[in-house]
Structure 1
Amino acid sequence: MKQLSPIVFALLTATSAVQAATTTKLTVNGMVCAFCAQGIEKKIGAMPQTQAVYVNLGQKIVAVEAKAGQTLDAEQLRATVKDAGYEVVKVETVEQSVEQVRRAMKDQK
């Protein structure tokens, strides 16, 4: 049996990690402008366990991906958004990276 080179193995492992990413999606009421979206993105992005954030103003979605080995607390996310002045009406977890969520939202237009 042929062994994989360390570089190929690292690439395959990294690809698997990206595919296995878990993202918390929030549906947020009250976002009406880019300033609103930017404020939410900044507050959630400042959380120590946050890897990536994507805000879709038109669809009222905030997608948050945790850093490797970290978890996101839905209630903490909800409280952070509420503290910014907005209402979270739905929280769901999806087996996608924030980048995959962003692409899917873009494709829905």
Structure 2
Amino acid sequence: MIGKTDNNDKNESRKIAITLIALVLVLAVAAFLMLPALTEVSATYLAPGLGLKDSAVISFFITIIIMIVFAVASGDGLLGELQFIIGGFFLFFVIVWLLLAWIF
């Protein structure tokens, strides 16, 4: 009872899924191969000053405060915007973390 368009849609979605999985695998291998170079860069440019550990703690609390302000200002509260807060938290955390370690 499956029509021709359903089979075409299945095949197309499989091709897209395989392509996305291959892309993620290639990116994971590239990140793994870049790891030694990234550790040298972080040791050279991010170690003097505040450091990564201290800036991570400061960044965590700054990000929590920013996310709560955004959630309250959005009008739906914390539960209505939870799916956006989770993604935004990690994005804000990484940006603030690295900027604090770099600048200070």
**What TM-score does the superposition give when structure 1 sets the normalisation length?**
0.25
Question: Which has more radius of gyration?
Answer: 2
Q: Give the strand-richer structure, 1 or 2.
A: 1
TM-score normalised to the size of structure 2?
0.26
